[in-house]
Amino acid sequence: MIQLLKMAFRDLGRNRRRTFFSALAVGVSLAILILMASVIAGEIGGAFDAAIRLQSGHIQVRSASYDENKSSLKWEDLVQNPDQIAAQIAALPQVKAATPRLFASGFLSTGNESAGVRVTGIDPQSAASDPYRQGLVSGDYLTADDSTGLLLGQPLALKLHLNAGDNVSLSINTANGDVAEQTFVVRGIYTTNTYGFDSATIFLPLAKAQAITQTQNHASTVFVLLKDNSYTDSVASALKPGGLKVLTWKDLNPLTVQFESLANSYIGIFYLIVLAISASVVINTLIMSVYERTREVGILSAVGMRGGRIMMLFLAECALLAVGGVLIGVILGWGATLLFNIHGFYIAKMGITGILVGNSIFARLTLSNLISLSILTFIITVLSGLYPAIMASRLQPVEALRAEK
């Protein structure tokens, strides 16, 4: 085998330019695959991270009759005594934070400007509220006993021409079906760098949200953040709140889960198309090599080299070509991913709905993607040399020796 590899290496060196460009074609194909896989992984991973961090948490405990799409405030649809339930969940060692949250629909207006909003009542001091506290860009953060202040997303503030300290009127649905209206002060303006979330979500302290919606001692959900995503199923199985349902982040983000499955299906087809183009270049290279070395193959056959060994010789050339292409592809793909991540791909106002995605998409190059794509490229490249190798092994010695140089 060592001898075959030496011969294959020597044969590839005969036409170094053609060998280089063939390996480069394989490398560029692999680099494209690595970049595409990294972008998809970054987009989907970013969507899940944003959803868990901002909207769904790892787990939520809700009333069995609660309908998220309607943001129901009926007492029978809400969690009673949510603080007690949250305290019990927070005592589990895998839990980072457990806190009640109340969701309601509202209408924000100032002067001639107005916008529909989703009002979220939060515990300002909970670790689950860190993204809003850390994302404060102006003004002050909320306190638990603040009865006149609210927190506003930066895109919404720009739309309504509001600054920290301005007054704004909030109309909000209540538990009995009425509409309550009150003037609030924009206590602070935040950003989570997630346009779809920031442009529609305002925050009130939980106690104030319960008071204005007439849902005292009730919450829409108990929002649970875990120390690690891998704990989700075990913690969800351990929770047995009577009369309530436990939902995981997968249950709460079905559209993102479906998008991930669909994206992986389509990206697989894209992989095959790119690799097929790369394989055609390798096939052409090796077929040209077979025609150029017909007399040499005839001599090898005449001195006793069997067809199988001749086939292995050409496959060894293809394998060396694949190794070179994979090395080039890994370097180019890694470099392309770094370049992509300098600024990312800005998508904030592209109208993506139903999925929380950050303002910019960044690529995530994972070791598993790098290894699997490299192995796939190597296998496809070697298989593409099978036909030229078989063609060379079937050359008749007499006919091959008579071939023109």
Domain boundary, last residue among 199, 216, 242: 242
Which residues, in sequence order, are CB contacts of 342 under 8 Å at separation 6+? none
For the purposes of burial, counting CB atoms within 10 Å of the CB of 223, is it exposed (0-12), middle (13-18) or buried (19 or more)?
buried
How far apart CA 189 and CA 20 sit, in angstroms, is 56
Instruction: Name the residue among 334, 328, 388, 292 with its Cα closest to residue 29.
Output: 328
Residues 89 and 147 in one domain: yes
DSSP string, 304-361: T--HHHHHHHHHHHHHHHHHHHHHHHHHHHHHHHHHHHHH-EE-TTS---SS---SEE
Domain boundary, last residue among 179, 214, 242: 242
Residues 293 and 179 in one domain: no
Using DSSP, state whether 165 is helix, strand or coil.
Answer: coil
Residues 142 and 231 in one domain: yes
Residues 34 and 103 in one domain: no
Residues 203 and 287 in one domain: no
Contact 169, 183 (CB under 8 A): yes
On whether residue 59 sits in a domain, the answer given is: no
Confidence of residue 295 (pLDDT cuts 50, 70, 90): low
**Mean predicted lDDT score pLDDT of the chain:** 85
Q: Average pLDDT for residues 276-293, to the nearest whole number?
A: 79
On whether residue 249 sits in a domain, the answer given is: no
Residues 98 and 231 in one domain: yes
On whether residue 205 sits in a domain, the answer given is: yes
Residues 372 and 238 in one domain: no
pLDDT digits (tens, 9 = 90+) for 2-31: 766 676 666 666 777 888 888 898 999 999
Question: What is the reported pTM?
Answer: 0.77
On whether residue 322 sits in a domain, the answer given is: yes
Q: Average pLDDT for residues 146-168, to the nearest whole number?
A: 93
Give the total number of structural domains in the chain: 2
Radius of gyration of the chain measured on its C-alpha atoms:
31
pLDDT (0 to 100) of residue 9: 65
How far apart CA 73 and CA 185 sit, in angstroms, is 24
Q: Average pLDDT for residues 377-397, to the nearest whole number?
A: 79
Percentage with pLDDT > 70 across the chain:
87
Instruction: Name the residue among 284, 328, 286 with its Cα closest to residue 12.
Output: 286
How far apart CA 192 and CA 136 sit, in angstroms, is 9
On whether residue 310 sits in a domain, the answer given is: yes
**Cβ atoms < 10 Å from Cβ of 258:** 12
pLDDT (0 to 100) of residue 143: 93
pLDDT digits (tens, 9 = 90+) for 340-376: 988 878 776 655 555 777 777 888 898 988 999 999 9
- The number of residues in the chain equals 405
On whether residue 57 sits in a domain, the answer given is: no
How far apart CA 214 and CA 180 sit, in angstroms, is 10
On whether residue 60 sits in a domain, the answer given is: no
Residues 323 and 385 in one domain: yes
pLDDT of 328 over the 70 cut? yes
How far apart CA 163 and CA 161 sit, in angstroms, is 7
Across 48-83, b (16+ Cβ under 10 Å) vs e yields bebbbbbbbbbbbbbbeebeeeebbbbeebbbeebb
pLDDT digits (tens, 9 = 90+) for 181-231: 999 999 999 999 888 889 899 999 999 999 999 998 999 999 999 999 999
How far apart CA 264 and CA 268 sit, in angstroms, is 6
Residues 72 and 211 in one domain: yes
Residues 286 and 336 in one domain: yes
pLDDT (0 to 100) of residue 176: 85
Domain boundary, last residue among 217, 242, 267: 242
Residues 105 and 225 in one domain: yes
Which residues, in sequence order, are CB contacts of 112 under 8 Å at separation 6+? none
Residues 385 and 324 in one domain: yes
The domain in which residue 70 lies consists of: 65-242
On whether residue 56 sits in a domain, the answer given is: no
C-alpha angle 144-148-149 in degrees, rounded to nearest 5:
70
Question: 136 - beta bridge partners?
Answer: 190
